[in-house]
Structure 1
Amino acid sequence: QIWPAYYPRTGWEAFTFAFTRSNTQVRETERLTLNKTYDRLFVDDPQPGGLIFSLAEGQPGNGGVIRIRGLSSNVKTVQREGLPMDAVAAPAGSQARKQSPAGAAAEMARTDVKNQENSDTLISPPAIAIRKNFNETAFFFPELKTDSSDNVEFSFTMPEAVTRWKWITLAHTKDLAFATGEKSVVTQKQLMVQPNATRFVRQGDRIDFSGKIVNLTDSEMTGQVELQLIDPTTNQSVDGWFQNVFPNQFFTAAPHQSTAVSFSILIPAQYDKALTYRMIARSNNISDGEEGLLPVLSNRTLVTEALQLPVRGTGVKAFTFDKLLKSGESETLTTQSLTVEYT
Structure 2
Amino acid sequence: MKKIFLLYTFLFLNLSAFAQNNDAWNSFPNKDTTLIGFKDKNGVIKIEPKFSGFTIARKFENIIAVTEEKDQKWKSYYLTKTGKTVGLDSLYVFDNGPDCENEGLIRFTDHKTDKMGMFNSEGKIIIPAVYSNLTKARNGMIIVLKDAEKKQDGEHFYWTGGKEFLIDINNKVLIENFAYNDDLNFYSLEKTKEPSKDPIRENFLGIDGQYYSFINFDKEFKYWLQNTILSDLSKANLEKHSFDKIVYWKEPDGWINSPKAKFIYQNYTFLKLKLQELKNPKTDYFVTTDGLNQFIFESSEYEMYFNNCNESKEWIYPVKSIIIHPKNKNDLGQDHIQFLRTENGYKLISVSSKKDNLK
TM range (shorter): under 0.3
The structure that is helix-richer by fraction is 2
TM-score by length of 2: 0.18
TM-score by length of 1: 0.18
The structure that is strand-richer by fraction is 2
